[in-house]
Amino acid sequence: QSVLTQPPSVSGAPGQRVTISCSGSTSNIGAGYEVHWYQQLPGTAPKLLIYGNNNRPSGVPDRFSGSKSGTSASLAITGLQAEDEADYYCQSYDNSLSSSVFGGGTTLTVL
Amino acid sequence: EVQLVESGGGLVQPGGSLRLSCEVSGFTFSTYWMAWLRQAPGKGLEWVANIKRDGTDKYYVNSVKGRFTISRDNAKNSLYVQMNSLRAEDTAVYYCARERKEFSWYFDLWGRGTLVTVSS
């Protein structure tokens, strides 16, 4: 059972907007620690998608955005494309575990 | 070109040992924290251990404390993890990653991973 909670799956049609939620607690997201998001395409290593709640590394399209409020965070993907089909993971730091923690991952299906 | 290349994975019996390596190129290795993470088959990501730039500070997830030892050789641009007393639940793809301390720790560069299978 993961410390951060994500929905197992989400789906959307090409061009649509989807959001993936990430729920934490007062020892991680709610304690003020930033949330980061990773994209894992099938059969590949994870890739940093969003860091520090809402910052995109160079090369990540602005279709991807992040937000955080209270003990939760969200990843939004607009203008959905077939190439966005992947697993998405949120990550933060937990001060009761003194370690980085991840969500269980969300599989995005583009219909 | 930035590269992190893991090696050393394989099949090992329960109770056995394995040493993973990660060779880094394309950035100044000695100026970054580094980490090992893993992903069990069909499962999510788990942070395993990290190590400070100069190797003086090391941290581990509770499940591997006392069994795994992370280390680095800055002269060789290499990261290691010595895994002892391996259990079936250690079966996973192990990733080496560069860890950033800003914004509450995150992993901005990842290797392709190496598979460790613990089975008799």
Q: Tell me: the pLDDT tens digits for A58-107?
A: 999 999 999 999 999 999 999 999 999 999 999 999 999 999 999 999 99
Which structure tokens are listed for B51? Answer: 């190590």
- Checking if the pLDDT of B102 tops 90, the result is no
- Checking if the pLDDT of B104 tops 90, the result is no
Contact yes or no for B47 and A38 at CB 8 A: no
B19 touches chain A (CB under 8 A): no
* Residues of chain B found within 8 Å of residue A36, distances taken between Cβ atoms: 103, 106-107
Beta bridge partners of A86: A108
pLDDT for the residue numbered B76: 98
- Checking if the pLDDT of B103 tops 90, the result is no
Give the other-Cβ count within 10 Å of B105's Cβ.
21
B57 touches chain A (CB under 8 A): no
To the nearest whole Å, the CA of A76 is away from the closest chain B CA by 19
Give the other-Cβ count within 10 Å of B76's Cβ.
12
Q: With contact defined as beta carbons under 8 Å apart, do A48 and A34 qualify?
A: no
Give the other-Cβ count within 10 Å of B104's Cβ.
22
User: Which DSSP string do the residues of A31-42 spell out, in sequence order?
Assistant: GT---EEEEE-T
Cα B118 to Cα A34: distance, rounded to the nearest angstrom: 35
Which structure tokens are listed for A21? Answer: 């939620």
Q: With contact defined as beta carbons under 8 Å apart, do A55 and A73 qualify?
A: no
* Cβ-based neighbours of B5, under 8 Å, separated by 6 or more: B22, B23, B24, B111, B112
User: Which residues 38-57 in chain A show a CB within 8 A of chain B?
Assistant: 38, 44-48, 51-53, 55, 57
pLDDT, tens only, B23-70: 999 999 999 999 999 999 999 999 999 999 999 999 999 999 999 999
| Inter-CA distances, B94 with A103, B9, B97, Å | 18, 8, 10
DSSP, collapsed to helix, strand or coil, labels residue A38 as strand
A85 touches chain B (CB under 8 A): no
Q: With contact defined as beta carbons under 8 Å apart, do A48 and B119 qualify?
A: no
CA B2 and chain centroid, separation: 17
Q: With contact defined as beta carbons under 8 Å apart, do A34 and A68 qualify?
A: yes
Token pair 């395409």 is found at A41
